[in-house]
Amino acid sequence: MNLNLKFYLSLFIRRLPYFLVLLAIGSALGLTLASVLPPVYKAEAVLIVESQQIPGELAATTVQTEATEQLQIIQQRILTRDSLLEMANRLEIYPPNTTNASNNMAADEKVEDLRERISIVTTGGAVARGPVQATIVSVSFEAPTSQMSSAVTNEVVTMILRENILIRTNAAGQTLEFFENEVARLDQDLKTKGAEILAFQERNLDSLPDSLDFRRSQQAAAQERLLQMEREEAVLRDRRERLILLYERTGQVVATGPAQNLTPEARQLKSLQDEHTAILAVLSPTNPRVRVLAARIAVLEVTVAAQGSDGPSLSESGLQLTAYEIQLADLDGQLDFMRSQREQIAATMETLRVSIEATPGNAITLDTLQRDYANIRGQYDQAVGSRAAAETGDTLEALAKGQRITVIEQAIPPREPESPNRPLVAAAGIAGGLFLGLGLVILLELLNKSIRRPADLTSGLGITPFGTVPHFRTQWERVRRRAIFVTVFAVLLIGLPGILLFVHTQVTPLNTVVDQLFDKLGLASLAASVTA
């Protein structure tokens, strides 16, 4: 066992230059990066989302966006290309490099770099289970100086507050504008529909459904009056025939009481008055039939009064009429009057029939118009209520009494840089060189299949040697080997840091090179943990 340990130790000592070279490379890289990587300062501000200050039951806001969703919208608006470039130019985050113009970043590179350096983290808010937690927003920015870090962080906070107010006031204003336009539109629709209903009622004033019962009662009264007049006309015709028959047989007429001295109009008036008296015992004075009868009596009273002042009746030739002629003329006059009254009643009944038949169709049309009007009126009332709620919500947002974002901790310049962790970077470089050196030594020995000890002769050739003679290097070979090793080692320890420093200052920053290298290798998270 001791022999094996000595053998492996001798192998390691033989490969020691390779090990030391890789160790020197790793150490030089780690120490150089630890010394040249620029400091990264990270200032942080804390914001909180406050709920509506006035209870929603008393005055509700019209902006119903959930806090987390609204913060995501604000973040996307802030991180737009135009917004980031405007902020970078205003705050001079990327001052022009006068020594090397090739180091000036393009616009797309600036935008990508700012998006990586700006951090907006939201915690809390509504969760699926458990109580609702306060929504906390942490805003930070990584910069090479503490002043720039705090300045940019506070600028991002200002942009968040401004965007939040803009989003909420715009939403409330657009809601109010929508309902104002909706109320105006529905008000115009109400006026138009009301005008249509009024025009339809005026065109169909005599055939509307609300007067259908009255017109039916008029129709029934006219029908009854027509039947009565037909009976009265039949009686008058019978009297006329009997009068003519009596006069033809006897040559004279028989007076029947005081009525023989009455004119036809006077006798008709007396008949109507008797009928009016009999009807009043059964019907009300406001009954249509009673009103028609009273109107006829009034007309005949005027006619009879005029006849009384004219003296005795004369014929067309100026001769005084006989009693037969007077009675015959009276009967003819009554019959003519009955005939004209029947024609008037028939015309009235025809008008009533047409209007009654048109009433169902008009009722359907009017009901449709009124239903549309009622629907529009309901929408109008609802829009007016919604407009009032929108006005309240707009006032709340204008006075900043709704949900709002407030700053509870401003960003201040940090005293110490956030990164890099220089001891860790240096230790990582040394450890990397150490593991690479050991790996190279092991790999070289695994690939070397030559015979280096008696055991290899026995296992490889199947013979047992009597003795072995080792290889002895001359003094010159040992000196030359050591000189080469010392030279390479010195070059690595001195030249490599110098080359890295030159590249970092004159060509491109090493932190950018390291980030690009780790991004291509897919080890960006590992690089962040090492430099943090």
Range of the domain at 526: 1-35+420-532
Per-residue confidence of the chain (532 residues) as pLDDT tens digits? 444 676 667 667 777 777 777 777 777 777 777 666 678 889 999 998 887 777 666 667 777 677 788 888 889 999 999 999 999 999 888 887 644 444 567 888 889 989 988 999 988 766 556 566 788 899 999 888 889 999 999 999 999 999 888 888 888 888 888 989 999 999 999 999 999 999 998 888 888 888 888 888 888 988 888 888 888 888 888 888 888 888 777 766 554 444 445 666 777 777 777 777 777 777 777 777 778 788 878 877 777 776 655 445 545 554 556 777 777 787 788 888 888 888 888 888 888 888 888 888 888 998 999 999 999 999 999 999 888 888 888 887 777 777 788 888 898 888 888 776 777 877 887 888 788 878 877 887 777 666 666 666 666 666 666 666 665 667 776 677 667 767 766 666 666 666 666 666 666 665 566 556 656 655 444 444 444 5
Please indicate, yes or no, if residue 352 is contained in any of the structural domains.
yes
Q: Judge if 364 and 431 occupy the same domain.
A: no
Q: Judge if 344 and 439 occupy the same domain.
A: no
Are 205 and 314 in contact by the 8 Å Cβ rule? The answer is no
Q: Judge if 360 and 469 occupy the same domain.
A: no
Number of C-beta neighbours around residue 491 at 10 A: 13
Q: Judge if 279 and 353 occupy the same domain.
A: yes
Buried b (16+ CB within 10 A) or exposed e, 404-434: bbebeeebeebeebbbbbbebbbbbbbebbe
Q: Judge if 426 and 279 occupy the same domain.
A: no
As to burial, measured by CB atoms within 10 angstroms (0-12 exposed, 13-18 middle, 19+ buried), residue 200 is middle
Of the candidates 259, 224, 236, the residue with the CA atom closest to the CA atom of residue 338: 236
Q: Judge if 347 and 454 occupy the same domain.
A: no
Q: Judge if 372 and 430 occupy the same domain.
A: no
d(C-alpha 325, C-alpha 331), whole Å:
10
Out of 385, 412, 428, a domain closes at 385
d(C-alpha 84, C-alpha 506), whole Å:
28
pLDDT value, residue 102: 42
d(C-alpha 19, C-alpha 96), whole Å:
44
Cα angle 114, 117, 119; round to 5: 110
Structural domains of the chain, count: 2
Of the candidates 332, 372, 420, the residue with the CA atom closest to the CA atom of residue 189: 372
Residue 324 tokens read as: 């037969």
Please indicate, yes or no, if residue 62 is contained in any of the structural domains.
no
Q: Please give the full DSSP string across 275-329, using - where no structure is assigned.
A: HHHHHHTTS-TTSHHHHHHHHHHHHHHHHHHHHHTT-S-B-TTSPBPPHHHHHHH
Q: Judge if 217 and 361 occupy the same domain.
A: yes
d(C-alpha 319, C-alpha 314), whole Å:
5
d(C-alpha 157, C-alpha 163), whole Å:
10
Q: Judge if 238 and 368 occupy the same domain.
A: yes
Please indicate, yes or no, if residue 158 is contained in any of the structural domains.
no
Q: Judge if 432 and 377 occupy the same domain.
A: no
The pTM of this model reads: 0.56
Q: Judge if 433 and 379 occupy the same domain.
A: no
pLDDT value, residue 371: 93
Of the candidates 312, 527, 262, the residue with the CA atom closest to the CA atom of residue 420: 527
Are 458 and 464 in contact by the 8 Å Cβ rule? The answer is yes
pLDDT value, residue 4: 65
Please indicate, yes or no, if residue 142 is contained in any of the structural domains.
no
Please indicate, yes or no, if residue 165 is contained in any of the structural domains.
no
Please indicate, yes or no, if residue 144 is contained in any of the structural domains.
no
Please indicate, yes or no, if residue 405 is contained in any of the structural domains.
no
Out of 359, 385, 411, a domain closes at 385
Q: Judge if 440 and 356 occupy the same domain.
A: no
Are 396 and 56 in contact by the 8 Å Cβ rule? The answer is no
Please indicate, yes or no, if residue 351 is contained in any of the structural domains.
yes
